[in-house]
Structure 1
Amino acid sequence: MSGGDRQALTAAGYLAILPWLSPDGFRNQMSASVRRSIEANTSALTEEQREAALKSALAQLESRLSDSAAADRDATAIPHELGHMWLIRAFWPQMIEIEGGHYGGPGPDWLDELAAVLHEPETMAAQRRDHFAKRLNAIRAAQAKGEEVTDELLDLTAYLTKAHPVGGNPQELMAQTGGAPTTGGATIQVLTGAEAQRVSGDGSRFYLQSRLVADYVLERSGDPAIFGKIAAAMASDPDFGAWLSGNGHEHNLPGSIAALEKNWLAWLDLKYPAAPS
């Protein structure tokens, strides 16, 4: 997308413009990421051996490079990313560009991610719920054995108060990988393997929490527009605890983050009953 294309779309009223890689662009980025990983971990190999390793690695990723995989990816990722943009446009219209490497918009990171997750298709929502249940059961199994649990999946207070786990890692990544192609002025980076793990951190947990927190609040409040009301309040005062104190009761929600977490955990126990011992 050229600068002229972007200006034309903006002039036509398209305020949320999302640059996106074509299937070929995605394949090229995937190949580049795999090559970087192989070159970083096979210094003792000859060039011929590295090329063989690259060919083998790409063959294993072939299912992710197919046209059907691209269609599935677009069906989930595009509405997710637009959800981020629409949230900012709706409630912080003058603050699209955030200095200092902030993860998303100027609002709370949890609300930013939750808005994006809510725009995903139901097939992805079902997958997130299933993955949440599996992690929850793994936590329960570890607790039953008296093992230390480091997974913060059930720490709602941390979810509502900490920065997104991805945080500033994209800036670090750009420095380490030498940048990436730009589309319409936006930088797009596709990652695999060790690169993806390093940057994502525990971002997957944040997505799962966002899905289940959304389910909980929607069910408890009975209001499909509840997050619009919360976002409007957060645009004026990002203290969610204060919002709960002043407004939680009228939406059938507890009046503090601590009480919300307790109630959410009880709701999870009903939604995902523990297996009989």
Structure 2
Amino acid sequence: MIITALAASLSLASCPAGAHCLEDETLLAVSANPDRAAFILSAMQTAQARYGDVFSRTPGLTAVIEDSTQFPGLALELDGQGYTVKPWVSPQAMRDQLEAQLRPALEAQMAGAPEAVIDAAINSALSDRVDGNERVRHGEAIIAHELGHLWLRDTYDWPDIDTGGARTYGAAAAPDWFDETAAVLMESEQLTGERRSNLCEDLPDDISAQLSRYFTMEHPLLQMAALAADRAAAAARARGEAADGPQIMVMSGDALSSQGADMIGAERFYGLTRALVDYLMTRTGSHVVFDTLAQTLASGQSLEDWLASSPSDLPSSQAALIDDLATFIESGCAA
């Protein structure tokens, strides 16, 4: 694929000051760092190819803008030109914002300690929370994951629904388990391996009951996002700062679960989704299954409707699919 500097092929007059802009046909990556722009565009290209393989559809104009607050107005301008725009937070920006939140507390706890000792403690805390974060460790795969959500929304004719102002994830009209399926399908082999391993390491005793819940539940991250936002706002207020600005909090699954997140946490939700993907591909031997399922769900029908008319190598009801999927997961983990 050809990578070029942003030029007159786009209706933007120029790349914003201080930005590096790379494009490839319908894809645009923007970052203040040239290496990061190249990294993001590569992730977009990989995701686009994979999406076409899985869904046999070509996403439209798409832009990923890293640290978009550095380029005010750009997202709105691109949106007006028909782009689907995904803001992205760079590892450095994540680190800087977390340091701004952590430093006052650590300085208070370590009052009187040499500055070098305080700095070392802060750097250690940041390394643990940023470098170990999935969005940093698997940056390319997570960019592709997020684009899967957006492209599922944009490439199928989903009905408009009134969410009442509630948070939505990807295609609001799609069941959350299938919205996540489109995203997990975009991930790298390395992250895919982690999804499988994590599920098997923490396999619930009654996997069928978990799967029944899985197919009806809201995405756990919607609850987690609300919780993280509340905690970030409370921390900002405690520091005497405005609580309505952007905040970054990196929270572990255990911490979120202890604060009342869904009984199926995000990591298990991803693991069950990966297992569903593996199951459907194993049973049917084809990626085409995901396109036909998306078309059925976007038309307002259900998983039950799709199974009733699905190929003979799949169960004909959701209950039977859950039982077969549970056996598939248990057998895979035992092996």
On whether the aligned pair clears a TM of 0.5, the verdict is: yes
**Does structure 1 residue 158 correspond to structure 2 residue 213?**
yes
Partner of 1:146: none
Q: Which residue among 179, 190, 207 is the counterpart of 1:123?
A: 190
Shift of the alpha carbon at 1:213?
0.5
1:114·1:211 contact (CA, 8 Å) conserved in 2? yes
Partners of 2:312 and 2:76 in 1: how far apart?
Answer: 42
Kindly report structure 1 stretches of 4+ aligned residues shifted beyond 6 Å.
Answer: 49-54
Measured in 2, the distance between the counterparts of 1:91 and 1:199 equals: 34
Q: Is residue 213 of structure 1 aligned with residue 276 of structure 2?
A: yes
Partner residue, 2:251:
192
Secondary structure of 1:223's aligned partner: coil
In the alignment, is the contact (CA less than 8 A) between 1:103 and 1:166 conserved in 2?
no
Aligned residues, how many?
Answer: 249
Aligned partner of 2:156: which letter?
A: F
Residue 185 (structure 1) aligns with: none
Describe the SS at the equivalent of 1:18: strand
Task: Give the drift of 1:94.
Answer: 7.3
| Cα separation, 2, equivalents of 1:273 and 1:97 | 44
**By how many angstroms is 1:100 displaced?**
2.9
The CA distance in 1 between the partners of 2:187 and 2:168, in whole Å, is 19
TM-score normalised per structure 2:
0.62
- 1:264 pairs, out of 325, 331, 334, with 325
2:228 pairs with 167, 170, 173, which one? 173
The answer for the alignment partner of 2:44 in structure 1 is none
**Does the CA-based 8 Å contact 1:108-1:238 persist in structure 2?**
no
CA gap of 1:3–1:46, structure 2 versus 1, over 3 A, is closer
SS at match of 1:161: coil
Deviations 1:177-230 (A, max 9, x none): 225755xxxxx6332357655486511110000001100011111221211211
Kept after mapping to 2: 8 A contact 1:221/1:251: no
- Give the C-alpha shift of residue 121 in structure 1: 0.7
Counterpart CA distance in 1 for 2:131 and 2:219 is 31
> 1:221/1:154 Cα in 2 relative to 1: closer, same or farther (>3 Å)?
farther
Residues 104-158 of structure 1: CA distance to partner in whole angstroms, max 9, x if unpaired?
122100011111111111110011111122123xx4xxxxxxxxx5x76862221
Give SS of 1:155's match.
helix
Aligned twin of 1:232: 295
> Residue 22 in 1 paired to residue 87 in 2?
no
Secondary structure of the residue aligned to 1:19 is: strand
Partner residue in 2 for 1:5:
74
Structure 2 segments unaligned to the other structure (5+ residues): 1-67, 234-242
State the 1:172 CA deviation. Answer: 4.3
Given that residues 128 and 211 in structure 1 are in contact (C-alpha distance below 8 angstroms), is that contact kept between their aligned partners in structure 2? yes
Change (3 A) 1:180 1:153: farther
Query: Are the aligned partners of 2:131 and 2:137 in contact in 1 as well (CA < 8 Å)?
Result: no
Give the structure 1 partner of residue 13 of structure 2.
Answer: none
Aligned-pair identity in percent equals 27
CA 1:153/1:84 → structure 2, altered by over 3 Å: closer, same or farther? farther
Contact 1:154 1:265 in 2 (8 A): no
In structure 2, the partner of 1:76 is 141
Instruction: Please identify which structure carries the higher strand content.
Output: 2
- State the shift of 1:175 in Å: 3.5
TM-score by length of 1: 0.73
| Stretch of structure 1 that moved more, 263-272 or 69-78 | 69-78
Amino acid at match of 2:181: L
Looking at structure 2, the residues matched to 237 and 93 of structure 1 have their Cα atoms a distance apart, in angstroms, of 8
Unmatched segments (≥5 aa) in structure 1: 140-148, 183-187
State the Cα distance separating 1:89 from its structure 2 match: 0.9
What RMSD over aligned residues (CA atoms) do the two structures have, in Å?
Answer: 3.7
